[in-house]
Chain A
Amino acid sequence: MSKRKTPSLNTQSTADIAFLLLCYFLMVSTMDQNNGLQRRLPPMPDQNQKAEDQKVNRRNIIVVKINSADRLLAGNAPIDVSQLKDKIKEFLTNPADDPNLPAREDTEIEGFGTYPVSKGVISLQNDRGTSYRAYIAVQNELVKAVNELRDEFGRQHWGKPYVALTEDQQTIVKKAIPQNISEAEPKDVNSK
């Protein structure tokens, strides 16, 4: 057989077509980052029902207030955002069994056993004049405190951080270290 030359296809235009498509996608695309802090709002209290304050023991609650100048008040003491995380961690763990810090109640957790779950609740209050930036910064610190505690819990019991745990283990951790952040009814922090 004689050697035949393979016929070549004219592919020069594919580059142009690809360019056109590329331009199209460049135009229509947004590269939004869909990241954020997840929260659950409390349901609206029934209007017929008298708004009764939840009876939470005073020691079990820490009030974090942000005023209109974005200053922070945590548990009646002014504080900087950078210190908030440690304060919250101390509040939630109560390592020294301080009677002023939240009680820990032995709770049966399915598939794990009993664990002293903290009854602490973080109540976040803000002023109408607070900037969103400060609000998110504080929210972030609160979440960070809880996440670090969860990581510690995971390391202690399974030798892995929270994200590396299996789904069942994560549910256990979530029960052992709940994220109790309450966003209080809006009120003016300053008017008092």
Chain B
Amino acid sequence: MAAFKRSGKKEVPEVGTSSDIVFMFLFFFMVTTQMRQNEVKVHVTLPEASEVVKLERKDLASYINIGPPTKAYQQQYGTDARIQLNDSFKTTKDIRDFIAAERESMSEADRSFMQVAIKADQDVKMGTITDVKQELRRCSALKIMYFARKAQ
């Protein structure tokens, strides 16, 4: 079995390229990520739609999440659809303050371009969403976007 005899020193396998690969991953994630702004406390599966457009200015959007609370919060809040603004469960009455606060945080010039993004679970009943819409109309935040997944 002389053919299998190693010649010379023991060799360490070459790993030099692994750092390049990792760097590539790193850049990929750096480019595609956006920081998680707040914890999502409701479970949202977006409905599908084919005619979706991209949200143009993320900084001008305020998010309203609507859906059943996630497992960790079901004990406390039940499984009915709830509204989440920023970091906590709220009711439709709080939307007014939320919109006012969001407006306040924007620069004067951007206020008229403010957009409200409604992220609702696909099984939510329209009653909840209609209430939200009515409240938004009362606060004259009229530009809205129904978030949806892009269907193939």
B95 interface contact, C-beta 8 A? no
A128→B145 contact, CB < 8 A: no
B126→A35 contact, CB < 8 A: no
A136 contacts which of B16, B61, B146 (Cβ < 8 Å)?
Answer: B146
Q: Of B23-31, B69-77, B85-93, B99-107, which stretch is located at the interface?
A: B23-31
A128→B146 contact, CB < 8 A: no
A37→B137 contact, CB < 8 A: no
How many chain A residues sit at the interface, stated as a range, is 35 or more
A25 interface contact, C-beta 8 A? yes
B47 contacts which of A19, A26, A132 (Cβ < 8 Å)?
Answer: A132
Q: Point out the residues of chain A lying under 8 angstroms from B146, CB to CB.
A: 36-37, 39, 136, 139
B29→A22 contact, CB < 8 A: yes
A181 interface contact, C-beta 8 A? no
- Give Cα A131–Cα B81 distance, bound, in whole angstroms: 12
A132 contacts which of B25, B26, B122, B140 (Cβ < 8 Å)?
Answer: B122
Q: Of A40-48, A53-61, A91-99, A102-110, which stretch is located at the interface?
A: A40-48
Q: Of A72-80, A113-121, A140-148, A164-172, which stretch is located at the interface?
A: A140-148
Q: Point out the residues of chain B lying under 8 angstroms from A136, CB to CB.
A: 47-49, 122, 146, 148
Q: Point out the residues of chain A lying under 8 angstroms from B144, CB to CB.
A: 38-41
Q: Point out the residues of chain A lying under 8 angstroms from B134, CB to CB.
A: 186
B58→A34 contact, CB < 8 A: yes
- Give Cα A69–Cα B135 distance, bound, in whole angstroms: 25
Q: Is the contact region of chain A dominated by helix, strand, or loop, or is it mixed? A: mixed
How many chain B residues sit at the interface, stated as a range, is 35 or more
- Give Cα A183–Cα B136 distance, bound, in whole angstroms: 13
Q: Point out the residues of chain B lying under 8 angstroms from A129, CB to CB.
A: 125-127
A33 interface contact, C-beta 8 A? yes
- Give Cα A21–Cα B36 distance, bound, in whole angstroms: 16
- Give Cα A35–Cα B51 distance, bound, in whole angstroms: 9
Distance to closest chain B CB from A35 (angstroms): 4
Distance to closest chain B CB from A37 (angstroms): 5
A49 interface contact, C-beta 8 A? no
- CB-defined A-B contacts under 8 Å, sample of 13: A18-B19, A22-B25, A25-B33, A29-B36, A34-B58, A41-B143, A41-B144, A44-B138, A128-B127, A129-B125, A132-B121, A135-B126, A147-B51
Extra pairs beyond A38-B53, A136-B48 (12, CB < 8 Å): A25-B29, A25-B30, A29-B36, A38-B144, A41-B143, A42-B137, A131-B125, A132-B47, A132-B122, A132-B129, A137-B48, A139-B49
A residues apposed to B, CB below 8 Å: 11, 14-15, 18-19, 21-22, 25-26, 28-44, 66, 126-133, 135-137, 139-140, 143-144, 147, 183, 186
Give the 6 A-B CB pairs with smallest separation, nearest first: A128-B127, A29-B33, A15-B19, A35-B52, A34-B55, A133-B122
